[in-house]
């Protein structure tokens, strides 16, 4: 049976000083003579004293934890390559700082707001991550109302009192389009994410801009919910159209992989007859056949930097916005020269 864990009072007694002085010594604060400090530290060591995070939390009014809420239908959360890496990056910063991550996974936006509110009102966390920004994102106002430090992944549309950590995903999409145009494609479609999600519409805009710059019309765009099933549906839609795309730019990898499945199933050869690009650099995308050309984002760094910024903010500094290296396009096997434009009927 583990004997009662020693408290600061035990240390004080053993060192023959007052509680307060022990606290000073242990926190490296001035006003303690070197000998006494040494004696106190020795006593603490002898007793195997460890600070009680709870007592500290109560007296200094800090949680020593950060909060993240992920909004995903639990049945379909699988397959998203972003969060696990992001969290690993966050952890990389938090662990050495003695902070922890409190995670909530909720099914919808209503529950999301409630979860953030609860986390903050319970004072479980000192700051929150706001990921997957949406248009008119209610979380910005909520965090502001709650007076909690926050960091946003990407810059929100309106004014935001919080620092943003952004990664230019436009560059990756543009590079993908440029790559395809360079291969002779002129009929390029885009399977977009939800328009209400900022990165969904931003990638779509990037697609449109890149097409325009290439002198092409971006007419074939299908909106999805980012899920593999919807990526498959969107691909079927596109392949059923009059004007047949010779290339499809997907807003994420799971949809691209599902789209590849649809194309292959309908007898289309990839990349000979249809080129495909993904987004997010998931592990498995590299190993399918043909290997998926995709846009890699460094979610690990994103998490690490966001965590660092949030900690700075909590510490009272005023970190500015941060721009991470842009997402970069990785050509692999799923993209190739555009086929001769042969009317579908003759195929």
**83 contacts its own copies (rule: CB under 8 A):** yes
312 binds, among DNA, its own copies, none (CB under 5 to 8 A by kind): none
Q: Which is nearer to DNA, 33 or 266 (CB)?
A: 33
The angle subtended at Cα 39 by Cα 30 and Cα 56, nearest 5°, is 60
Applying the rule CB under 8 A, the residues between 255 and 274 that interact with its own copies are 257-258, 260-262, 264-265
Q: Annotate each residue in 52-71 with x if it binds DNA (CB under 7 A) or - if it does not, as one string.
A: x-xxx-xxxx----------
Region binding its own copies by CB under 8 A among candidate stretches 119-127, 196-204, 212-220, 316-324: 119-127
For residues 216 and 209, what is the distance between their CA atoms, to the nearest angstrom?
Answer: 10
Q: Which is nearer to its own copies, 119 or 206 (CB)?
A: 119
Q: Which of helix, strand or coil describes residue 119?
A: helix
Q: What is the dihedral sign for C-alpha 114, 229, 192, 224?
A: negative
Q: Which is nearer to DNA, 57 or 300 (CB)?
A: 57
Q: Which is nearer to its own copies, 49 or 181 (CB)?
A: 49
| Residues in binding contact with DNA, number by CB under 7 A | 34
Q: Which of 234, 207, 220 minimizes the C-alpha distance to 295?
A: 207
Region binding DNA by CB under 7 A among candidate stretches 6-14, 212-220, 248-256, 313-321: 6-14
**146 contacts DNA (rule: CB under 7 A):** no
131 binds, among DNA, its own copies, none (CB under 5 to 8 A by kind): none
DSSP code of 27? T
Beta bridge partners of 100: 65
The answer to whether the beta carbons of residues 128 and 120 sit under 8 Å apart is yes
**158 contacts its own copies (rule: CB under 8 A):** no
The angle subtended at Cα 57 by Cα 54 and Cα 60, nearest 5°, is 145
Region binding DNA by CB under 7 A among candidate stretches 34-42, 150-158, 159-167, 253-261: 34-42
225 binds, among DNA, its own copies, none (CB under 5 to 8 A by kind): none
Residues 6+ away with beta carbon under 8 Å from 59: none
Q: Annotate each residue in 7-26 with x if it binds DNA (CB under 7 A) or - if it does not, as one string.
A: xxx------xxxxxxxxx-x
Q: Which is nearer to DNA, 50 or 266 (CB)?
A: 50
CB of 126 to DNA, least distance (A): 14
CB of 304 to its own copies, least distance (A): 9
Q: Which of 5, 19, 329 minimizes the C-alpha distance to 180?
A: 329
DSSP code of 184? T
**74 contacts its own copies (rule: CB under 8 A):** yes
**282 contacts its own copies (rule: CB under 8 A):** yes
Q: Which is nearer to its own copies, 89 or 154 (CB)?
A: 89
For residues 188 and 155, what is the distance between their CA atoms, to the nearest angstrom?
Answer: 28
DSSP 28-48: T-SSS-HHHHHHHHHHHHHHT
Q: Which ranges constitute the DSSP H helices of the chain?
A: 8-15, 19-26, 34-47, 53-60, 82-94, 109-121, 138-146, 170-182, 198-213, 228-239, 253-265, 299-314
For residues 334 and 347, what is the distance between their CA atoms, to the nearest angstrom?
Answer: 21
Contacts with its own copies, residue ranges (CB under 8 A): 2, 50, 52-55, 57-58, 63, 65, 72, 74-85, 87-89, 91-92, 95, 100-106, 115, 119, 121-124, 147, 227-229, 231-232, 254, 257-258, 260-262, 264-265, 281-284, 286-289, 291, 299-300
Q: Would you tell me which residues interact with DNA (CB under 7 A)?
A: 5, 7-9, 16-24, 26-27, 30-37, 49-52, 54-56, 58-61
């Amino acid at each position: 049976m583990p004997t009662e864990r020693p408290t600061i009072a035990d240390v004080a007694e053993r060192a023959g000083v007052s509680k307060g002085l022990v606290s000073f010594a242990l926190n490296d604060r001035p006003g303690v003579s070197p000998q006494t400090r040494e004696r106190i530290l020795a006593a603490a060591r002898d007793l195997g004293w460890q600070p009680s995070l709870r007592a500290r939390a109560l007296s200094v009014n800090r949680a020593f934890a950060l909060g993240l809420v992920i909004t995903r239908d639990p049945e379909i959360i699988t397959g998203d390559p972003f969060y696990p890496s992001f969290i690993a990056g966050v952890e990389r910063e938090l662990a050495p700082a003695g902070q922890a991550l409190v995670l909530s996974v909720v099914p919808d936006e209503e529950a999301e707001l409630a979860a953030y509110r609860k986390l903050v009102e319970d004072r479980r966390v000192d700051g929150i991550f706001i990921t997957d920004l949406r248009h008119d994102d209610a979380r910005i106002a909520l965090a502001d109302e709650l007076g909690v430090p926050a960091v946003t992944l990407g810059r929100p549309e309106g004014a935001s009192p919080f620092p943003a950590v952004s990664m230019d995903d436009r560059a990756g999409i543009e590079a993908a389009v440029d790559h395809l145009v360079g291969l002779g494609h002129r009929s390029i479609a885009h399977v977009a994410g939800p328009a209400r999600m900022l990165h969904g519409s931003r990638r779509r805009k990037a697609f449109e801009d890149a097409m325009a710059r290439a002198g092409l019309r971006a007419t074939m765009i299908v909106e999805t919910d980012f899920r593999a099933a919807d990526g498959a549906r969107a691909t079927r839609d596109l392949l059923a159209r009059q004007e047949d795309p010779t290339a499809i730019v997907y807003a994420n990898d799971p949809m691209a992989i599902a789209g590849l499945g649809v194309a292959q199933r309908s007898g289309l050869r990839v990349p000979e007859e249809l080129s495909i690009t993904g987004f997010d650099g998931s592990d498995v995308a590299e190993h399918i056949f043909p290997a998926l050309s995709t846009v890699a984002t460094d979610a690990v760094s994103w998490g690490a930097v966001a965590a660092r910024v949030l900690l700075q903010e909590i510490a009272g500094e005023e970190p500015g916005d941060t721009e991470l290296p842009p997402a970069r396009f990785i050509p692999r096997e799923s993209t190739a020269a555009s086929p001769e434009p042969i009317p579908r009927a003759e195929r």
